[in-house]
Each structure stands twice: as C-alpha cells, then as structure tokens.
Amino acid sequence: MSEKIVQTAGRNQLGSFAPLFAHLNDDVLFGEVWNDEAIDVKTRCIVTVVSLMASGITDSSLIYHLQNAKAHGVTKEEIAAIITHAAMYVGWPKGWAVFRLAKEVWGEKDENLK
C-alpha cells in the first residue's frame, strides 16, 4: 500500500460547528475511501478532478485536488488529456475553467487567460 492519506481539514474548519460532517470528511471520505486499496491514489485523484469538473466546481476544492493529482504523479500532459477528454462529455466551458486552474497548478501562467 502507498502512503496513507490523512485529512484534518474537516475538523480544522468545521469541527466545532459541524462535528459529524467533519468526521465524515476526515475519517470516512479520506480515512476510509481514499485509503481503500481497490484503486491507486493517482487514479482516485483523476476521478476526483473529473467529478468536480463535471459538477462545475472550480473553487479551492478543485485547486486542492489538482495539486493532489500533481503530487501523486499526474503529469502536465496527462492532465491536459484528461481535461480535454472530460470536456467532450461534461461541457466545453467547464474544460476552459479547469484549464485555467490546471495551468496555474502545473506552473504555466498565461496572461491571455485572465
């Protein structure tokens, strides 16, 4: 098994306000689902990025998961192909939105994409 995924964002940000949600986020989603050995972490990262893209979520959670994908071995070429492929199914504007974020995460700034 690869390195165990540990998350504390739920407790850190919502622990006293929504303790059940914090527990489900940190212990169930990240503690159990992300650490299940049926698929590797790189694949989970890709599935998560595509799921967020399909939902139209382009906030800090997608940035986190793009960074996580990069940290777990998804290359610039792979993320470009993944976003392009997913855009054909989930919508072209969503692809543009995710490319803006992915370029930042993979260290490519484009002054024309503001």
Name the segment(s) of the chain with CATH classification 1.20.1290.10.
40-114
The whole-number pLDDT of residue 8 equals 84
pLDDT of 100 above 70: yes
Gap between the Cα atoms of 87 and 91, Å rounded: 5
Query: pTM for this structure?
Result: 0.85
**pLDDT confidence tier of residue 113, bands split at 50, 70 and 90:** very low
What's the rounded Cα separation, in Å, for the pair 74 and 66? 9
Q: What is the pLDDT of the chain when averaged over all its residues? A: 92
Q: What is the CATH number of domain 40-114?
A: 1.20.1290.10
* Residue among 93, 14, 6, 8 at smallest CA distance from 58: 93
Q: pLDDT tens digits for 31-67?
A: 999 999 999 999 999 999 999 999 999 999 999 999 9
